[in-house]
Structure formats: C-alpha cells, structure tokens
Amino acid sequence: MANSLPSLHTCLSPALLNLYDVNHTTVVIIDVLRATSTIATALYNGAKCVIPVDSVAKCIELGKQIDSITAGERDGKIAEGLSYGNSPFEYPREFVGNKTLVLTTTNGTKLLHMALEKGAGQIVTGSFPNLSAVCDYLLGVKTPVILGCAAWKDRINLEDTLFAGAVISRVKQAFSINCDSSQMAETLYKDAGGDLYEFLKLKNASHYHRLTGFGLEKDIRYCLSADAANVLPFYENGKLVVHKG
C-alpha cells in the first residue's frame, strides 16, 4: 500500500529546486517572513487577487496598467518606487478588500516564478497563518508534493524549514517520504515545541535578527501564528486567488 502513496519532498533552497521534478507536482511556496504570510492575509481580508511579479520594474509597470496596489520589498524594506511593503499589517480588510495587490519580494515571488518556469503542476502558497488550509489541501491531492522554501538569497533559513516541518508532521501519513530534508524539517519542528518565536530567538535565526533590527517583532509573531488567515492561495492565470475547496 505504501508504494501507492504520492511522494513528498522538501526543497530547502531555491538553488536546489533543479534537483526535483516539478512536473505534475504540487509545489507549496513557503516564505514565512513574510511574503506568503502577507499573501494569505491579503486574500483572507478580501483582496480580489495577488499578482506575484519577480521584479520591482514589472510591479511598477503593472501598477500603471491596472487598478491595483503595488507593493514589495527588497532586503526587508519597502522597495524604491513602490507604495507599500511586505508586512501583513499593511493589508487590513478596509484597505485591501476587493482590490488587486501586485507584489514582489526578495525570495518568495522569485521562487514562485522559478517553479512556474520549470512547469510545476499546481502552485499554492504556505505560511503559518494558513497552515491548516495548506494541510487540508495536500491531504486531498493525488499528485507528488514539493515543499519549496524560499530561504534568504538561497541560504537555508530556520523559519521556512520549520513550516515545512509543521506541514509534514500533519500530512505525512498520506505520502511516501524518502527525503532527508523532510526528516530534518520535521525533527526541527518537533524540537522547537510550541513557541516558535522563542525558538527563533534562542537560535538567533538570521532573518529573525534582520527583522527585529527593523522593529518588526509584531510581524514575526503574527507570521508564526497558525491559522490567523486560513485560506489557500492558489495560482491560476497569473494570479493567486482563494482556492474554492
């Protein structure tokens, strides 16, 4: 029976994505701090869609063509030429409801476009705020799954790995997992215990360090909170929209 289960792999850095076959595969894009947390939040708060783009120039250009909010970050700060940043708190319902958000980020949107170019079967985005929505979806798919961590400029990071571990701990019985990175991720998640914020602080996680330097502790705490914006962003026709189950 075990052989008939679809495979699940964890790709800990975009620089390793070419080791995996993404065709006919569901790829979960994971950029916990903060792109995919913000995407889930904007859609949960009623955004019509989020259009992920891979450069600031494209973001500005698209903003001129369609009625939208242009947003993005480079190196953790609002990118020059854009109006909004990458904090989930910038997108409450009264602001983002029924709007289109065009978003570019250092790592997350880049990985999404890599997966797209390589021919991924389906692309969804994952973060702690939509953890249950991701797991529920994966338990229903019949395809292989790749948990794709956006990392930081290709360097593996703790928070994306922890999210992969959280997903694996919930869905593993439905998949065949022969992947050391997945085992590492799940072990790490179990080791972290209940308080992920304290774990990142204790381990002096590099991106925790970077964002607290900008005074963004509140963002980090939100981005580590399970199911605060529990919808599934699903990529179709160039846009991330809420998946109708």
Q: Does 166 bind a copy of itself (CB under 8 A)?
A: no
Rounded to whole angstroms, the Cα distance separating 212 from 96 reads 26
Q: Does 25 bind a copy of itself (CB under 8 A)?
A: no
Kindly indicate which of the ranges 11-19, 31-39, 105-113, 219-227 contains the residues binding a copy of itself, using the contact rule CB under 8 A.
11-19
Q: Does 184 bind a copy of itself (CB under 8 A)?
A: yes
Rounded to whole angstroms, the Cα distance separating 233 from 109 reads 13
- CA neighbor of 48 nearest in space, from 227, 231, 240: 240
Kindly indicate which of the ranges 78-86, 98-106, 152-160, 218-226 contains the residues binding a copy of itself, using the contact rule CB under 8 A.
152-160
| Residue 180, H or E segment | helix 180-192
| Residue 37, H or E segment | helix 35-44
Q: Does 187 bind a copy of itself (CB under 8 A)?
A: yes
Whole-number minimum distance, CB 103 to a copy of itself, in Å? 24
* Whether 88 contacts 219, CB under 8 Å: yes
Give the nearer residue to a copy of itself in terms of CB position, either 6 or 46: 6
Among 117, 180, 198, 217, binds a copy of itself (CB under 8 A): 180
- Provide the residue type at 70 as one letter: T
Kindly indicate which of the ranges 32-40, 50-58, 177-185, 235-243 contains the residues binding a copy of itself, using the contact rule CB under 8 A.
177-185
The residue assigned the tokens 């790749």 is 146
Rounded to whole angstroms, the Cα distance separating 243 from 234 reads 5
Kindly indicate which of the ranges 52-60, 197-205, 212-220, 229-237 contains the residues binding a copy of itself, using the contact rule CB under 8 A.
197-205
Among 7, 55, 143, 206, binds a copy of itself (CB under 8 A): 206
The residue assigned the tokens 């992947």 is 179
Count of positions on this chain that bind a copy of itself (CB under 8 A): 28
Kindly indicate which of the ranges 31-39, 79-87, 137-145, 174-182 contains the residues binding a copy of itself, using the contact rule CB under 8 A.
174-182
* Whether 113 contacts 35, CB under 8 Å: no
- Provide the residue type at 186 as one letter: E
Angle CA 86–88–90, to nearest 5: 80
Among 204, 237, 244, 245, binds a copy of itself (CB under 8 A): 204
Among 156, 197, 212, 243, binds a copy of itself (CB under 8 A): 156
Whole-number minimum distance, CB 4 to a copy of itself, in Å? 18
Rounded to whole angstroms, the Cα distance separating 66 from 52 reads 14
- CA neighbor of 101 nearest in space, from 85, 112, 114, 115: 85
Interface residues toward a copy of itself, by CB under 8 A: 12-13, 15-16, 19, 153-158, 161, 177-181, 183-184, 187-188, 191, 203-207, 209
